[in-house]
């Protein structure tokens, strides 16, 4: 191995994982003077003569991120837009423009593509954003690529600012989408509230700017899993994060799914993604912004380095989604 090839020549994406690959790729891209925040956070931040532009891109691949039999095209469109808009939210910013790339089979019904576009437009309208362009091509399955641009009224909030003594707080639903996915994966369509949460997330779009204005030291959106995403905050900030189970109220539908599947419903909260809740850290004593609830604390990283624990102990359940696995 060498600096230019950090992995064995026969290594696969499954071997190195999503974030190992991101780390290797990021080092190959020189960052120009216009780059304020480069690869590695929820979104990039670019300097312009009149301020900053916040940029993020996400891909949704049929069979991996959605199934057409599990959700109508309009909901898939809203989900695709929400995952990107939430990244801007997690920087403390507000989105204003999107571009959309669509790869699709030639026999895809035109009506499906139009409904998809309507869903993207509807979700974008929630934050006052517009779709300003994109591209189309043929593909074996539906692939949706969304790039979103936005602005921050104050300095963007990064993943790397958490400090020992901070309070960890969350805004938005958490675990509902994961429970809905578990239901759909077993061929069921109820509880309907959970299925709809998976089909059409409801990110707390006002939460990011509010957290930034309140002095949040770090922030992230929960897309892959609460503990997994807090792991990025812990790693980038060089701290330990502890989450309290008793900070979460499990709704009746979550209990029902847990009972039906024979699992602890708390695993949906701790390891679930796709609700796009916002998690931020605040200095102790900060009045939490509207919609935020304290769920844990930040401490010094010990001998084990940056870690995320639950009620002071290591968590042995699923912590989140793993790409390439």
Q: Is residue 117 part of a domain?
A: yes
Who contacts 184 (Cβ-Cβ below 8 Å, separation ≥6)?
A: 67, 70, 195, 198
In a domain, 194, yes or no: yes
C-alpha–C-alpha distance, residues 120 and 78, integer Å: 5
User: Percentage of the chain with pLDDT > 70?
Assistant: 86
Please, are residues 296 and 229 in contact by the beta-carbon 8 Å criterion? no
Type and span of the H or E element at 268? helix 266-271
pLDDT at 131: 86
pLDDT at 135 over 90: no
Cβ neighbourhood burial of 313 (10 Å; 0-12, 13-18, 19+): exposed
> What Å distances lie between residue 2 and 9, 14, 17, 29, CA to CA?
10, 20, 19, 17
Provide the CB-side half-sphere exposure for 162 (13 A, CA): 34
CATH number, position 239: 3.90.650.10
> Which DSSP letter does residue 246 get?
G
Tens of pLDDT along 52-78? 788 899 999 999 899 999 999 999 999
- Average pLDDT rounded to a whole number, residues 173-185: 95
Cα separation, 106 vs 104, in Å, equals: 6
Residue at 12 is within a domain:
no
Question: Does position 42 have pLDDT exceeding 50, yes or no?
Answer: yes
The residue-averaged pLDDT of 184-206 equals: 94
**Quick one: pLDDT at residue 130?**
87
* Same domain membership, residue 95 and residue 73: yes
Task: Tell me the pLDDT band of 251, cut-offs 50, 70 and 90.
Answer: very high
Shared-domain flag, residues 227 and 262: yes
Residue 171 lies in a domain: yes
Q: Do 167 and 297 reside in the same domain of the chain? A: yes
**218 phi and psi angles, rounded to 5 deg:** -155, 165
pLDDT at residue 25, as a whole number: 60
What's the whole-model pTM score? 0.84
When pLDDT is cut at 50, 70 and 90, the band that residue 320 belongs to is confident
């Amino acid at each position: 191995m060498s600096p230019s090839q950090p992995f064995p020549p026969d290594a696969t994406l499954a071997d190195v994982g999503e974030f190992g690959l991101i780390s290797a790729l990021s080092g190959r891209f020189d960052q120009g003077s216009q780059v304020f925040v480069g690869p590695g956070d929820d979104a990039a931040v670019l300097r312009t003569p009149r301020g900053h532009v916040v940029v993020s891109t996400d891909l949704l691949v049929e069979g991996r991120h959605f199934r057409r039999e599990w959700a109508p095209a309009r909901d898939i469109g809203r989900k695709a837009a929400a995952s990107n808009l939430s990244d801007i939210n997690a920087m403390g910013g507000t989105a204003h423009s999107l571009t959309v790339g669509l790869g699709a089979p030639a026999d895809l019904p035109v009506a499906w593509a139009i409904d998809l576009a309507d869903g993207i437009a509807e979700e974008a309208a929630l934050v006052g954003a517009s779709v300003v362009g994109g591209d189309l091509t043929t593909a074996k399955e539906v692939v949706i690529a969304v790039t979103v641009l936005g602005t921050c009224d104050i300095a963007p909030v990064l993943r790397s600012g958490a400090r020992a003594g901070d309070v960890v707080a969350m805004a938005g639903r958490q675990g509902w989408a994961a429970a809905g996915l578990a239901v759909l994966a077993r061929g069921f369509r109820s509880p309907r509230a959970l299925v709809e949460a998976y089909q059409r997330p409801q990110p707390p779009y006002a939460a990011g700017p509010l957290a930034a204005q309140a002095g949040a030291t770090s922030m992230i959106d929960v897309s892959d899993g609460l503990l997994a995403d807090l792991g990025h905050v812990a790693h980038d900030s060089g701290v330990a994060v502890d989450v309290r189970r008793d900070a979460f109220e499990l709704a009746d539908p979550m209990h029902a799914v847990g009972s039906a599947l024979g699992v602890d419903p708390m695993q949906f909260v701790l390891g679930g993604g796709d609700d796009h809740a916002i998690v931020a850290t605040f200095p102790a004593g900060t009045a939490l912004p509207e919609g935020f609830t304290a769920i844990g604390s930040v401490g010094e990283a010990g001998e084990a380095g940056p870690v995320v624990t639950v009620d002071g102990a290591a968590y042995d359940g699923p912590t989140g989604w793993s790409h390439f696995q």
